[in-house]
Structure 1
Amino acid sequence: TPKTAGLIVVHIGGIVSRRIGELQELVCKKGLWLVEDAAHAHGSSYGGVKAGTFGIAGSFSFYPTKVMTSGEGGIIVTNDDRINEEAMIYRDQGKASFTQNAHVRMGYNWRMSEPHAIIGLKHLERLPAMIAGRQKIAAIYDEGLKGFRNLSRVEVPAGGACNYYKYIVVLKQKQDRKALKALLRDQYGVMLAGEVYEEPLHKQPVFESYVSGPLPASEDYCARHLCLPVFSGMEEAEAYQVLDALKDVIG
């Protein structure tokens, strides 16, 4: 619409969409911004281009569950001078600079403390190794799931590199997910990871006042997806244990 300022693309589970190039072409043609929600995608890429650098700006989360963390918070990356300047202003109470106590925006306290920054920098140094650990487990899952009839994996597109913040699989038929997870936990000692989103965005209470049309594909996908456990220190034997349990329970 004439009011559209830009598009936001979300790299779910650390997977950069194979259609990212189409979005770049679209925003260029329409004179719009492309902003990346790269909260899941530290170190992920497509076509050799890192997540967070396809658009005018990208944001990364440092929540404790992410592939890397500073303990809490996050960062914005951009190659646009104006966005960089505005971000610096908003993060520090709307001040024009650290040397001036002049408030030019209604800003907030989004400053990162030095201890948090040190943790983040150390994790950044270790990021390639942490991703490699996750990719090793993902490769075991990739191979092991080939024989499953009732469970399929969400594939990383050719030319893409995923950090496997989440390893997402989809049930062929909808099941009682809570009961399934409880069975795997209680009888097999397998703890599945939390879902990417248990409910789609349009069904969240904060948006109740907005008109939302039916989004059956989103609702179905959210209801049928599972996330297998994956972390950098995970042992290969643990991955095979997960596959064996899934084979018995789901097949």
Structure 2
Amino acid sequence: SSGAPALEVHELPMGHGTHVGHAADFFTRALSAGRRPAPAPVPAQRVHFTVSDRRAVLDRVDAALASGVLTQGPQVARFEELARPWTGTRTAAVASGSAALEIALRIIGVAGRTVLMPVNTFFATAAAAVRAQAAVRFVDIEPDGLGMDPDALRVALDRCPDTAAVLPVHIGGIVSPALDGVLAHCRERGIPVVEDAAHAFGATLDGRPAGGFGRFGAFSFFPTKVAVSGEGGLLSAALPGDLEQVRRWRDHGKSAQGSTLHDRPGGNWRLSELHAAVGTVDLERFSRTLARRRELAARYDALLADVPGIRPHAVPRASGGNFYKYLAYPDPDGPLDRALLKKRLRERHGVALAGEVYDHLLCDHPYFASGAHRAAPGGFEHARWFARHHVALPLYPSLTEAEQIRVVAALRRELS
């Protein structure tokens, strides 16, 4: 590989079962090649468990199988315990982040009334409110922290006096300082707040953790998130009575644990012991995960400082982001639109950008663009600009410095 004119492969019988001939053939081909192979692609997302982590998961799965307790057992209890330092309140594990949102809204009792949420969020936020039989109305975001705009919320509250709940969303793992204004408006009117913190596990605002500001905080542990359990969700709540209701709703609405009587139309929203086994191992390493994501974000900041044609999103000083996404804005007057930029990065450089958050506003989805749930018309100026212009660079704990340099070099070349 260094251009030496000759190659020698020495075959040593080490007694550990290696097929010497195959190994010698491999090294002969690899090291005698006239050119280096193309570097491996930089994927948009990479979930990585070390060998020791995988063994720990397998041991816990084995313990669950041996005990015969496959749901709502000690692994789930441990998962809830490990999450508490990151939410600041007690928690109850559920099957998904979507289930967490729906349960919270059903406990509040939103049926037949209005739920307000940002127009820029994942479809599951709105779908949970629809399933809870609420009317959904949308609010613009503010550009600094990408949170719900308090001024736009005040206008929406005046237009919707029947508002039963407000759902701020912590986009990209940023808890916006504007949340204080949202909370103030809701407090004045006695309206409960449910934080959609699906992106924001471990994120903070002025040192306070996401999920600890409203009546409920809803988290997701889907494989793309900063902490994972395969499938899974979590509800945080300050009131013990609320968490007891969560436990009833998640288990088909049983009136008490182990009871055969049901006092509400709950669902099968339980987290299995097998998913909790993955989640507990991941939460035990989460402090390192969070530190690593912040380290990678700081390196991107430094690498992008002199790259023309792209501007990183500046996280507000009071917000302790978890960098679920590393967001940046290519120059809207630059040589490439977003779709072409992503295509060239992928095809020319082997670099895949992560998914946007989000590229379509909720009011533009077919479900809300027509029919019974048609959204009221509105400009949503800030949300629409953000949806059209941002990109998300690959960022995950196993991303290497060399891969980050490749990402930035590819951006420099395509945007120059």
Tell whether the structures are fold-level matches, with TM greater than 0.5: yes
TM-score by length of 2: 0.58
Unaligned stretches of 5+ residues in structure 1? none
Q: 1:241 aligned to 2:396?
A: no
* Distance across 1 between alignment mates of 2:320 and 2:201: 11
Contact 2:173 2:199 in 1 (8 A): yes
Q: 1:176 aligned to 2:337?
A: yes
- State how many pairs are aligned: 251
* Distance across 1 between alignment mates of 2:177 and 2:359: 24
Equivalent in the alignment of 1:103: 262
* Distance across 2 between alignment mates of 1:131 and 1:31: 35
User: Match of 2:255, SS?
Assistant: strand
The one-letter code of the counterpart of 1:140 is R
Contact 1:92 1:107 in 2 (8 A): yes
Equivalent in the alignment of 1:191: 352
Unaligned stretches of 5+ residues in structure 2? 1-159
1:196-229 per-position Cα deviation (integer Å, ceiling 9, x unaligned) = 2121111112212313323343222211110000
* Distance across 2 between alignment mates of 1:178 and 1:150: 16
Equivalent in the alignment of 2:248: 89
Q: Matches of residues 22-33 of structure 1 in structure 2 within 5 Å? A: 22-33=181-192
Equivalent in the alignment of 2:225: 66
TM-score by length of 1: 0.94
1:60-110 per-position Cα deviation (integer Å, ceiling 9, x unaligned) = 001111111111121111012332122111111111122211111111100
Q: 1:204 aligned to 2:360?
A: no
Range that drifts further, 229-238 or 146-155: 146-155
Aligned-pair CA distance for 1:132: 1.4
The one-letter code of the counterpart of 1:120 is G
User: Match of 2:355, SS?
Assistant: coil
RMSD: 1.5
* Distance across 1 between alignment mates of 2:269 and 2:311: 40
* Distance across 2 between alignment mates of 1:108 and 1:220: 38
The one-letter code of the counterpart of 1:204 is H
1:16-74 per-position Cα deviation (integer Å, ceiling 9, x unaligned) = 10122222222222212121100001101111100110111100001111111111121
* Distance across 2 between alignment mates of 1:36 and 1:250: 37
Q: Matches of residues 10-21 of structure 1 in structure 2 within 5 Å? A: 10-21=169-180
Range that drifts further, 157-166 or 227-236: 157-166
User: Match of 1:10, SS?
Assistant: coil
User: Match of 2:175, SS?
Assistant: coil
* Distance across 1 between alignment mates of 2:188 and 2:330: 38
The structure that has the greater radius of gyration is 2
Q: 1:48 aligned to 2:207?
A: yes
Equivalent in the alignment of 1:157: 316
Larger strand proportion, structure 1 or 2? Answer: 1
* Distance across 1 between alignment mates of 2:185 and 2:284: 35
